[in-house]
Amino acid sequence: MIEIKDLHKSYKMGSNSLHVLKGINFSVEEGELVAIMGSSGSGKSTLLNILGMLDVLDEGSYTLDGVPIKDLNETKAAQYRNKFLGFVFQSFNLINYKSAMENVALPLYYQKVGRKERQEKALKYLEQVGLREWADHLPSELSGGQKQRVAIARAMAAEPKVLLADEPTGALDSTTSYEVMDLIQKINDAGNTILIVTHEPDIADMCKRIVHLKDGVIVEDKKITQVRASQYV
Amino acid sequence: MFDIERWQEIFDAIRKNKLRTILTGVSVASGIFILVVLLAFGQGMQNGIAKEFEADASNRIGVWTQVTTQEYMGLNPGRPIQLRNNNYQAINSKFGEDLENRSPFFRVRNVTVDYNTESGSYSVQGVSPLFQNIENQFISEGRYLNYGDEENVAKVVVISNKIKRELLKGEENPIGAFLKLSGINFQIIGVYGDKGGDREEDRLFIPISTAQRVFNGSDNLNMLFYTLKPSASLDETVAKSVKLTEDIKTYLKEAHMVAPTDPSAVNTFNTLEAVKRFQNLTGGIKFFFWFVGICTIVAGVVGVSNIMMIIVKERTREIGVRKALGARPRAIVGMILHEAIFVTSVAGLAGLIFSMGLLEFVGPNLQIDYVLNPSINFKVALSTVCLLIIAGALAGFFPAWRAATIRPIEALRDE
């Protein structure tokens, strides 16, 4: 599903450049649930942003679902993001003047799905994250966990090939975190490929594979036995 | 271009960002409102002043002649030109339909006028009955000259209130009394007054025919006086007056074989000079109001641009989110511009309609000196609205385009 070869990325900080990713080789199969771990500054978020085409790579190659991702202009990148990827952010990034349902329906708008169908689908995905009756509420009327579940529903609504989550539990307390992880596990059980960036070991243990990043290189890549979140909920 | 989905998206955004929409709308609407009212008042002031001036400005044209200064068709310069009765009649028949009042004018200066034992020296002027209108004279007693007097070469005279005071001291009823002009008896038929005051009342008026005969004038005339039929607007009248003056000049030069380029053989005056001064004044007022108006537009453009930039800035994060969800740059720019143009158009038109309505309702009832019926050219107002819309769109376009083309990760980082 994801194939990365010899990936380099550096940022210009004034006159010096900061070499963040120093040759990453990495692949993900369909249906995997991968945790990308590392301390802050290890380059894990950068890796995820590049995977999500929110940022561009300097060197190396990236193939997503058999499509080489390179030399993208913003229009093309937007198309690919819309078609392939769903995002979940640490800070939710819901649009604050839109109701939960409208937020979930937004990616479908950019897929040129009709209004009625958008709403039906949005309600279906809200149902899946257990927020059907909160459909008409604004993000400001929702708790952090609810917001993240709306964000997950939004990411899923476009039916992406890969779900990318950047610290999805970073802004949540542990109980809520486990609820969100339970949801993510269920989505993965349904066959979706998911990548999670986290620095919390308990969250990483709920994935099926952990990739450790340190100073821009992968230091460890291991498959683990998944801890089910449902036992904590 | 009509994309129902985008309209719905925009109406959502407008409905849920009422404050932002209202602020944008109010600034645009008030800008248009101020501009329209301002320009309308400028126009109103112009109308008001024009009215004041029109009341006074008799559109008078006078014609007189001097000696030629240029050689023409074998004739030497320095030849005196004399206006004659046939010139007056020819002008009447040529241009009669444009003329309101007309009078020939034959003047004898320093005529000794005697009444009993009193004596004085005045200017005696032979004129036609309509001269009264040309000079804005009013009758205090008796009557003015009429065409009967002219036909009969009657020895009748109209004196002024001033002359009555000076010569006919204590005379209760001067009508019918006799004055001696250069020793010839004239019967007083009326007493006139002139709004110009005493200075204008040192004159006695007798029929033109009588003047020419009694004072050996043959068929000579000193001057010709005309007023024009007023046209619908002052500008038209002025234009007509200029043209008529030139036509009369041209005719007289031809009739007297004067070089067309001779600057002083045939002279005219008309109250155009005053009108010109008046036009300069109103031109100045117009310029001032336009200047203030343009400043208002500039301020409005800057204001709208500012708001648009702030809106885009405020929405940068939202733009990042939308891009992460698969919005293309074109969709982002389209959305922002669509909203901006829609809001500024509606607000601009609202301001326009409101201000025009106010002018329509209040304008004609306004009772202020020098302000009459303030109004505005609808095209000007409409193009101002368009200008503001375009400015707002342009001001929104550049930051929107920038926000739409940067990598979403940067837009998302924006706080």
How would you class B97 by CB atoms within 10 Å of its CB: exposed for 0-12, middle for 13-18, buried for 19 or more?
exposed
Domain edge (last residue) among B270, B287, B306: B270
Per-residue pLDDT of chain A (233 residues; tens, 9 = 90+): 899 999 999 988 888 888 889 999 989 999 999 999 988 888 888 898 899 888 888 889 999 888 888 877 888 888 888 889 999 988 889 998 889 999 999 999 888 888 899 999 999 999 988 899 999 999 999 998 899 989 999 998 988 989 999 989 888 888 889 988 998 999 999 889 999 999 889 999 999 999 999 988 999 999 999 899 888 87
Give residue B405's pLDDT band: very low, low, confident or very high (50, 70, 90).
confident
Residue A38: domain span: 2-94+161-231
If you count DSSP H runs as helices and E runs as strands, how many of each does chain A have, helices first? 7, 10
Residues contacting residue B285 through CB under 8 Å, at least 6 positions apart = B42, B45, B46, B49
Cα torsion B301, B302, B305, B310 to 10°: value is -150
B250 and B385 housed in the same domain: no
Is 70 exceeded by the pLDDT of residue B53?
Answer: no
B264 and B117 housed in the same domain: yes
Is 80 exceeded by the pLDDT of residue B314?
Answer: yes
B94 and B16 housed in the same domain: no
A195 occurs within a structural domain: yes
Instruction: Give the pair of three-digit tokens for residue A85.
Output: 């990827």
Q: What letter would DSSP give residue B331?
A: H
Mean pLDDT of chain A: 90
Q: Which of B9, B13, B407 sits opposite A109 (nearest CB)?
A: B9
Give residue B103's pLDDT band: very low, low, confident or very high (50, 70, 90).
very high
Q: How many CB atoms neighbour CB A209 within 10 A?
A: 18
Q: What is the mean pLDDT of residues B216-226?
A: 90
Domain edge (last residue) among B246, B270, B294: B270
B303 and B263 housed in the same domain: no
Share of chain A above pLDDT 90, in %: 48
pLDDT number for residue A196: 93
Spell out which residues of chain A touch residue B323, defining contact as CB-CB under 8 Å: 74, 78, 81
pLDDT number for residue B57: 44
Residue B102: domain span: 60-270
pLDDT number for residue A65: 87
Is 70 exceeded by the pLDDT of residue B52?
Answer: no
| pLDDT, tens digit, 9 for 90 and up, residues A55-90 | 888 889 999 888 888 877 888 888 888 889 999 988
Instruction: Give the pair of three-digit tokens for residue B307.
Output: 């708001």
Chain A residues with a Cβ under 8 Å from any Cβ in chain B: 49, 52, 54-56, 74-75, 78-79, 81-83, 87, 89, 93-95, 97-98, 102, 106-107, 109-112, 114-115, 154, 158
pLDDT number for residue B276: 67
pLDDT number for residue B400: 83
pLDDT number for residue B326: 87
* CA-based nearest distance A224→chain B, Å: 31
B103 and B133 housed in the same domain: yes
The reply to whether residue A158 touches residue B325, judged by beta carbons under 8 angstroms, is yes
B240 and B380 housed in the same domain: no
Query: For the domain that residue A44 is a member of, what is the CATH number?
Result: 3.40.50.300
Q: Find the residue in A nearest to B414 (Cα).
A: A93
Best to test chain B binding among A50, A76, A81 (most B CBs inside 10 Å): A81
Alpha carbon distances (Å) from B153 to B56, B148, B188, B209: 33, 8, 14, 6
CA-nearest of A39, A44, A28, A62 to A188 is A28
| pLDDT, tens digit, 9 for 90 and up, residues B119-129 | 999 999 999 99
Q: What is the mean pLDDT of residues B187-201?
A: 83
Best to test chain A binding among B325, B402, B412, B413 (most A CBs inside 10 Å): B325
B144 and B231 housed in the same domain: yes
B363 with B40: CB under 8 angstroms?
Answer: yes
Chain B residues with a Cβ under 8 Å from any Cβ in chain A: 5, 8-9, 12-13, 16-17, 317-318, 320-331, 404-405, 407-409, 412
Residues contacting residue B147 through CB under 8 Å, at least 6 positions apart = B128, B129
The reply to whether residue B328 touches residue A79, judged by beta carbons under 8 angstroms, is yes
B223 with B62: CB under 8 angstroms?
Answer: yes
